[in-house]
Amino acid sequence: MTNHLPGNDQANRPRSTSRRSLIGRLAAAGFSAPVIASVLRDSAWAQDATPDATPTSEGVLAGLGKDSRLIEQGSTTFETPAELMTEFLTPNDQFFIRSNGPVSIDIPRDEWRLAVTGLVERELDLSFADLEAMEPRTITAFLACSGQSRGRFGNEPAAVEGTKWGNGAIGNAEWTGVSLIDILDEAGVQPGAVEVVSQGGDFPEMQRGLPIEIATDPDVMLVWQMNGEDLPPPNGGPVRLLVPGWGGIASTKWVVGLEVIDRPFAGTYNTESYVIIDEVGAVVRPVREMPVSSVITSPLPDAALPAGPVTIGGFAWSGFGGIERVEVSTDDGATWVEAAIVEEAGPLSWVRFEAPWEAASGTAMLQSRAFDQRGLGQPVETEWNAKGYLQNSIYRVPVTVE
């Protein structure tokens, strides 16, 4: 599973560091010896190693156990292409990958440890077997990158920063693990707790603060199974945090530490990125829940269809609550009809929708718009923000009917 990744994504990586200072920083960050060994095995950090020849995207994907048709969006970041968005539960090998650092983390289950520290009555040092001995649960939830659909932002007043995702930085899966609150209860959270800082096993700076009131929601979990299989390493296995509905950055991959602190965490991934930055640079609010969104996945954009009956289909989701209604337009938004929700799995999951259409010759612009249990909906245009997060504008699919 150890790959030698090309180095063309340096902008998103912490600065280079010597092997010795890396070990020191990992130890200072509370990484356990097995995790340090794992990080050192990863070539992105193995400064002493002689790099292989730059691998192809297909080679990287094969090494990660992923479908070779995923779209490379950077050496550690791969998108599910539109033509593969057909399953209600996204197959593990087609699920998108987004990493802020290296992606080929290899922490064997029997070496994985989780340190629980900070404002707790009892510090914990849990093994995978400890987790497995707890009460498991399974939920179905979508998981999307905060930058999902970023490519749809306009370039005014400036191009937005970040991976120019299409609509494939999202997947839906059954996740099995334990509620984070069960672990926090075992540690005994002290009064004054404000956030839980999760430490990723990929690099020392991969730390994210999660408000304690969210961390104690039973739907927030540590998961180790995805669609009934071991959580794949590129998606955070052996164990990742899962914060359903929130932008993916909250769901720390390869989680190896949890520190309960008495203040909001002011780390890079809470304050410099994953925040809404306005046109003059003010940081106005954090990125948290993914807003209501929907995409038509069939037909695909620029499809040529025979005239006659067509089933328009796609997926809709919201981090604020379950999807209540989806509407479809075949005349570029002039009129709308309610679509049928044909597959669903609770409020944390996306839904599949379908609407029949009698396609007549000519061109047509298809659109979908969803509404959630809170009555929230989709804008025609999402508020521009400098890093291009939370893009949920109504998606337009042009087709030709022959």
Give residues in contact with a copy of itself (CB under 8 A). Answer: 191, 194, 212-214, 216-218, 263-264, 266, 270-272, 275, 278, 280, 282-286, 291, 320-322, 347, 372-380, 383, 392
Q: Find all residues with CB under 8 Å of 219, minimum gap 6, and list them.
A: 139, 141, 179, 244, 348
Q: In a 3-state reduction of DSSP, which class is residue 246?
A: strand
Residue 207 CB, nearest approach to a copy of itself (Å): 14
Residue 97 CB, nearest approach to a copy of itself (Å): 28
Residue 30 CB, nearest approach to a copy of itself (Å): 22
Cα end-to-end distance, the chain, whole Å: 48
Nearer to a copy of itself, 261 or 340 (CB): 261
- Rounded to whole angstroms, the Cα distance separating 210 from 44 reads 27
Nearer to a copy of itself, 212 or 399 (CB): 212
Nearer to a copy of itself, 40 or 276 (CB): 276
In contact, 270 and 261? CB cutoff 8 Å: no
Residue 152 CB, nearest approach to a copy of itself (Å): 15
Helix (H) or strand (E) holding 63: helix 57-63
Nearer to a copy of itself, 19 or 285 (CB): 285
Residue 381 CB, nearest approach to a copy of itself (Å): 8
Q: Are strands 240-242 and 207-211 parallel, antiparallel or unpaired?
A: unpaired
Residue 392 CB, nearest approach to a copy of itself (Å): 8
Nearer to a copy of itself, 233 or 347 (CB): 347
Nearer to a copy of itself, 255 or 275 (CB): 275
In contact, 40 and 46? CB cutoff 8 Å: yes
Helix (H) or strand (E) holding 15: none
Nearer to a copy of itself, 256 or 394 (CB): 394
Query: 170: exposed, middle or buried (C-beta count within 10 Å: 0-12, 13-18, 19+)?
Result: buried
> Exposure string (b/e) for 15-28, b if CB count within 10 Å is 16 or more?
eeeeeeebbebbee
In contact, 232 and 174? CB cutoff 8 Å: no
Residue 192 CB, nearest approach to a copy of itself (Å): 10
Q: What is the largest CA-CA distance in the chain?
A: 70
In contact, 315 and 352? CB cutoff 8 Å: yes
Residue 236 CB, nearest approach to a copy of itself (Å): 23
- Rounded to whole angstroms, the Cα distance separating 387 from 277 reads 7
Nearer to a copy of itself, 19 or 374 (CB): 374
